[in-house]
Structure 1
Amino acid sequence: MLKWTLLGVAILFEVFATMCMKFSDGFTRLLPALGVVVGYGISFYLDAQVVRMGLSIPVVYAVWSGGGIALVALVNRWLTGEGLAWPTVVGLVVISFGVALVSFTTSAEIA
C-alpha cells in the first residue's frame, strides 16, 4: 500500500512541476522555475523509491505518466480555464485503458 501511496504523491509532484513550467514563462520567472526543478526532483526520487520497493518499471512509468497526463489536463482546465476538446477526453480514456493494460499484463511474457 505504501508504494502506491508514494506513486500517487509522485504524480502530484509531477503535476505541480508541469504546471509550474507553464507559469515560469519560459523559465524567466524564478519561483515557478524553482517549482519545476523541485517538483520533478521529488517526483523522480519517489518513483525510484517505488521501484526499489518492488513495483516494476513499466507499471510505475505507465501509472506515473498516464496519471500525470490526465491530472495535468484537469488541473490546467481548472487553473487556466482552457477547455478540453472531445478528442482530448477520448485520448485520456484511451490512455487510461493503456495504463490498465500495462499494469495488469506486465508479468506476462511475449511468446
Structure 2
Amino acid sequence: MNPLLIAYGSLALAIACEVTGSALLQKSEQFTKLIPTLGMAISFFAALFFLSQALKIIPLGLAYAIWAGLGIVLTALVGVFIFRQSIDAWALVGIALIVSGVVVMNTLSSSVRH
C-alpha cells in the first residue's frame, strides 16, 4: 500500500482520537467520572501514537497544521451538535481562518513537500 496513504490515514485516526478525547474530557467532569476519564486518556494516547506514525512520512509542520486545524473544527462541531454549545460569528470567522491557513499551506506553500 502507498506509504503516503497510510500516513494520511494515520493522521485521520489521530484527529478522530483527539476529537474523541476532547469530547470525553468534557464528559469526565474534571476527572470525577472514571469511565470518561479513562476513555479520554486512551483517546489522547492513541492520538499521539497515530500522529507519530503519520510523522514518518508527513513533515511535522504540515501534519500538525492539519491535525490542529481539523481538530479545532471538528471539536467545535462536537460542541455544537453533541453538547448544544453555541458558536458566535467571530468564532466562525476564526475557524474559517484556521481552515484557510491549512488550505494555503497545503496548496501554495513550497515548504511543504508531499
TM-score normalised by structure 2 residue count? 0.88
The count of corresponding residues between Structure 1 and Structure 2 is 107
Q: 1:47 aligns with which of 35, 47, 51?
A: 51
| Poorly superposed stretches of 4+, deviation over 6 Å | none
- Unpaired segments ≥5 residues, structure 2: none
What amino acid maps onto 1:83 in structure 2?
S
Alpha-carbon RMSD across the aligned residues, in angstroms, is: 1.3
- Unpaired segments ≥5 residues, structure 1: none
Question: What whole-Å deviation, never above 9, does each CA across 1:39-71 have from its counterpart, x for those lacking one?
Answer: 01001000000111x100001100001100000
* Percent sequence identity over aligned pairs: 27
Shift of 1:103: 3.0
Q: 2:82 aligns with which of 58, 61, 79?
A: 79
5 Å-filtered alignment, 1:1-111, equals 1-52=5-56, 54-104=57-107, 105=109, 107=111
Counterparts of 2:49 and 2:105, CA distance in 1: 22
TM-score normalised by structure 1 residue count? 0.90
Shift of 1:102: 2.9
Q: Is the 8 A contact 1:58 1:102 kept in 2?
A: no
